[in-house]
Amino acid sequence: MTPLDTSATGVGASLPRLDAREKVTGRAQYIADMVRPGMLHAAVHASPHAHARILGYDTAEAQAVPGVACVLTGDDFPDGRMGAFIKDEPAIAKGKVRYPGEPVAVVAAEDEETARRAAALIRVDYEDLPVAATPEEAVAPDAPLIHEGLADYFKVFPAICGGNVASETELSEGDVDAAWADCDVIVEGDFETPAQAHLSIEPVGALAEVDAEGRVTLWSANQSVFRVQANVCEALQLPMSKLRCLTPKVGAGFGNKMEPHVQPLVVQLALRTGRPVKLILNRTEDFETVRARHPFKIRCKTGAKKDGTLVARELTAVLDCGAYGDDSPGVLGYSLLMSRGPYRIPHCRASGKLVYTNRMRFGAFRGFGNPQVTFATESQIDEIAGRLGMDPLDLRLKNRMQPGDRWFGGGDVASNGLAECIEKAREASDWARGRALPAPPGKRRALGVAACAHISGLLATGAIVRLLEDGSVVLNTGAVDIGQGSDTVLTQMCASALKVPADRVATASPDTDGSPYNWGTTASRVTYTTGRSVVAAADKVAEQIKRHASEIFECAVEDLELRDGGRVGIKGVPDKELSFFEVSGRAHWAAGGPIVGTDTWVYNQPSVDPKRAIARGLPFPQIGVYSFGCMIAAVEIDETTGKADVVEVWSAMDVGKAINPGSVEGQIEGGFVQGMGFALTEEMVFDGPRLANPSMMDYKAPTSLDAPFDIHSIIVEAAEPGGPFGAKGIGEIGLVPVPAAIANAVAAAIGTRLRRLPLTPERVLDGMLEGGDED
Amino acid sequence: MTGEPVTLRVNGAERPVAAVAPWTTLLTVLRDEFGLTGAKRGCNQGVCGACTVTIDGEPVRSCLSLALNCADRDIVTVEGLVPAGAPAGALAPVQQALAEGNAVQCGFCTPGILISAHALLRRNAPLTVDEVRAGLSGNLCRCSGYKKIVEAVARASEARP
């Protein structure tokens, strides 16, 4: 076997992914690669309408196609509803359709071609309803109601809702209205960001199999086996004990696979046919029906004193929710929580509205609303710097949060490496050379900066660490590795905590039957939140190992230490030691019983201190643990075409402790390029309610020629007290400042502030030709 | 499956299929008939590059190649990057470079990237970063930002004799 370089395996080593060999040999199994004996293939019949009442179905022709095993419509599904925040979504359209592409019927057949052919033969009788394609249309006085039952839906938070407004949230501190009078400079503007497609290269899919007792096993492309279980059981009204959820390799998520897609459909087909059923969406279906980043319209106003001291901010946001709630209330609430940025601004009010429309649902996407608001707020920090003639970096440093400061709303902030991020990015980019850079003829080049923060502490998680008979270790967390490398990072933590090499730790694949609960691989939370449980569970194993050793050596537990290579010994007495093999053998066969350490916890620090802030309709009562970052981008503009290219970028991110520096860089680099696409080229274009560009040909994500090679990842480590080895999250923050940093560079290059993404050649050229301010 | 019989030469082995329909793609035959699931279906429109294989040494989209047109051609998939007869678990240098260079994240684009890189590396000279960027520009990766992939392929090209 060709050995990979695994000479260093513990915390701080860039250990190659545990599954790297499996992936480079093509052996890694994703959902589409799975086959079960007797398996059927499914296809969806999708709604051609944006909003219509379903009057009836005619499935006779589809049923008659040779090879078709089963055709199900909304009439064949239970009345349950799912939804992370508002239980508003059935497994399949029932009674009416709410967006183009919504599943209306499903077919299972002997092969996919037959299933698709039969699905096309299903006839549905519709009565068209008026359509609300945008938030503006949906809040108009005569707008059609998209969810007649909204008031009665179960909600997991105190939602303020009504009409087509799914949720309203407001958070404020200080006295904003009075504070404007204290400001010497005030900037105000309207910002707009488009829908962005996650575009995981793997489309979504699922495979369900039912056993003789009627119990279902479900594999799917997912970010949380436990969210899959909850969603399917809610929609199909099944007890959770009747559904086991597992995961194959996942071809990336970015939020797209966190909440349900086709899982309830295949489960119902498997229950009805008694056979395994697989459904893989094609790229167009994946684009049109899964979910995407919310379009935001933001009005933002920021004021400062002459010396640059920030005084007040007001931000209002309107989000297109799409047809179903999904993670949207969370995205709204979180984006508002991030709207003050990592600064001291004593007077701040943020409010927003989430509006149902007849478009595909929008949901979680890397950054969770933070990139959108940061585009607005960090643009305004630069505008203030410009108005005051201050250096944008100095203005950010001057106003940064200080030790002991609370987050907007009152949440605790422990570690904060922002100042170091800013200084390191400043130095590495040679910021002192000036913002306008030398450029070839016909081009302009300039630097732009943005700073940001992001959380990594949220909701519940756990870990089980077991010692096998020979002293090997099994780690089981239930956290799905979606490709970002969490299995490797958690294994490194476990290995370091027990002082064994990583190859002595087996990491179990998530399984709702056998793994401890894990809310999901989302919100940059696995390294911090799950990592804490891994360390705590490993520590409990270490305690038991020491207890055995203390009984054998007849010494105090406190006199014992773990030693590298899986041994326990008496401090200061090198030859008094036992291997984990000896200890675990004793535990298994003679005394105490097999060694198991478990830990579960739920993040419980309040987001809001009612003595400081007023909050209405906030969906996250407990959220926190902040990573910080500062990014500087060098952008080149073509004066003839207006095309903007990023030529070099310096991204300094405070991750507390890089458990696997190579993986941290991977997150920074990947997050940057995905953010660059959002800033420059990516836009889901809607023709009324309908997505007009549901293909990779018409939706432009960056290629290796579009992405700059010179992405400099700068890792800053401000250790988080309570974090595993001091670590905090890095999954999303690398994307958060990108649109703002690029927009600030573009503004510096062309002299015009552009407030609408993407910064297409046309918009940049218009800005360059018209000059001045976009407004 | 209705259609004509065909024999494909995949990774050096002759693989007969009893009946292939005229519209069946090479990707479908590789995945569904031969169980070679390394090549991935990301878009089925020839854009993402996850289904890339080489035919007579040239990288092509197997999702856009009709299987019946591929008889008597040499097809190499990611499963064939290690020469037949190599010890179990052996990796080609470019596979090892990606694995060790933290250039693999979710892995779904990886087989296509490896095949494009393999075709690039057939030019014996060391490749510059820009040559690698151009050579891989038909393979979308949504995770990595490309940098570590480009670095790994450039490094593998230097290691060639």
Interchain contact, B105 vs A252, CB within 8 Å: yes
Cα–Cα–Cα angle for A470, A471, A473, rounded to 5 degrees:
120
How far apart are the CA of B160 and the nearest CA of chain A, in angstroms? 17
Shortest distance, CA B123 to any CA of chain A (angstroms): 20
Burial class of residue A450 in the structure, from the number of CB atoms within 10 Å of its CB (0-12 exposed, 13-18 middle, 19+ buried): buried
Question: What are the structural domain ranges in chain B?
Answer: 4-80, 93-158
Contact A39, A33 (CB under 8 A): no
Residue among B37, B116, B129, B143 with most chain A CBs within 10 A, to mutate: B143
- The first and second tokens of residue A353, run together, are 């509205």
Contact flag A26-B48 (C-beta cutoff 8 Å)? no
- Give the residue-averaged pLDDT of B17-41: 97
> What is the CATH number assigned to the segment(s) B4-80?
3.10.20.30
Q: Are B19 and B2 in contact (CB under 8 A)?
A: yes
Does the distance separating the beta carbons of A703 and B45 come in below 8 Å?
no
Cα-only R_g, chain A: 27
Residues of B in contact with A711 (CB under 8 A): 145, 147
How buried is residue A254: exposed, middle or buried, by Cβ count under 10 Å (0-12/13-18/19+)? buried
Chain A contact for B28 (CB, 8 A cutoff): no
Residues facing residue A455 across a β-bridge: A626
To test the contact with chain B by mutation, choose from A14, A24, A27, A249 the residue with the greatest count of B C-beta atoms within 10 A, namely A24
Q: Show residues of chain B in contact with A20, CB under 8 Å.
A: 98-100, 104
Residues 6+ apart with CB under 8 A from A379: A189, A191, A740, A743, A744, A747, A753, A755
Res B58 pLDDT > 70: yes
Domains in chain A, please, with CATH? Answer: 34-129+204-280 (3.90.1170.50), 292-457+608-770 (3.30.365.10), 460-602 (3.30.365.10)
State which residues of chain A have pLDDT below 70. Answer: 1, 6-7, 772-775
For the segment A571-622, what is each residue's pLDDT rounded down to a tens digit?
999 999 999 999 999 999 999 999 999 999 999 999 999 999 999 999 999 9
CB contacts of B98 in chain A (<8 Å) are 20, 24
Q: Which two tokens stand for residue A360?
A: 């595909």
CB A265 within 8 A of CB A28: no
**Residue from A111, A286, A481, A704 to probe the interface with B (highest B Cβ count within 10 Å):** A704
Residue A16, phi then psi, degrees to nearest 5: -60, 150
- Cβ pair A323, A133 in contact under 8 A: no
The pLDDT assigned to A773 comes to 62
Mean pLDDT for the stretch of residues B98-117: 98
Please report residues of B whose CB lies closer than 8 A to that of A701: 140, 142
DSSP state of A284: H
CA dihedral A625, A627, A628, A632 (to 10 degrees): -160
Averaged pLDDT for residues B45-49: 97
CB-based contact B77:B38 (threshold 8 Å): yes
Report the residue of B108, B120, B131, B140 to disrupt the A interface, i.e. the one with the largest count of A CBs within 10 Å: B108
Instruction: Kindly report the pTM of this predicted structure.
Output: 0.97
Q: Which residue of B has its CA nearest to A482?
A: B106
Note the pLDDT of residue A775.
47
Under DSSP, is residue A299 helix (H, G, I), strand (E, B) or coil? strand
Structure tokens at A605: 């620090």
Q: Between chains, do B139 and A251 touch, taking CB under 8 Å as contact? A: no
Among candidates A344, A436, A319, which has minimal Cα distance to A398?
A344
* Min Cα separation A767/chain B (Å): 28
Q: How many CB atoms lie within 10 A of CB A239?
A: 7
**Any CB–CB contact under 8 A between B44 and chain A?**
yes
CA distance B77 to A26: 9
DSSP strand pairing (A560-563 vs A505-507): unpaired
Q: Which of A111, A201, A223 to mutate to test the interface with B (most CBs of B within 10 A)?
A: A201
**H or E, element range at A112:** helix A112-120
Nearest residue in chain A measured CA to CA from B104? A20
Query: Residue B123: its pLDDT value, please?
Result: 76
Contact B106 A252 (CB under 8 A): yes
pLDDT at A1: 66
To the nearest whole angstrom, how far is the Cα of B78 from the nearest Cα of chain A? 6
Residue A44 DSSP SS3: strand
B102 and A666 in contact by Cβ < 8 A? yes
Inter-chain touch A251–B39, beta carbons under 8 Å = no
B-chain CB neighbours of A222 within 8 Å are none
Find chain B residues with C-beta within 8 A of A665's C-beta.
Answer: 102, 148
Verify whether the Cβ–Cβ distance A26 to B39 is below 8 Å.
yes
Q: How far apart are CA A324 and CA A51, in angstroms?
A: 13
| Beta-strand pair A644-654/A624-638 | antiparallel
The pLDDT value recorded for residue B2 is 76
Q: How many CB pairs under 8 A join A and B?
A: 192
Which residues of chain B neighbour A671 with C-beta distances below 8 Å?
Answer: 145
At residue B84, the pLDDT reads 79
| Contact list, A22 vs chain B (CB under 8 Å) | 107
* Cβ separation B108–A201 shorter than 8 A: yes
pLDDT of residue A195: 98
User: CATH assignment of B93-158, given 1.10.150.130, 3.40.1190.20, 3.40.50.720, 1.10.150.120?
Assistant: 1.10.150.120
Q: Which of B31, B106, B150 is the best substitution to test chain A (most A C-beta atoms within 10 A)?
A: B106
Mark yes or no for CB contact A669/B79 under 8 Å.
no
Does B40 contact A at CB distance below 8 Å? yes
CA A230 to chain centre: 18
* CB contact B118 to A (< 8 Å): no
Chain B, residues 47-86, CB within 8 A of chain A, namely 47-48, 50, 77-79, 81-82
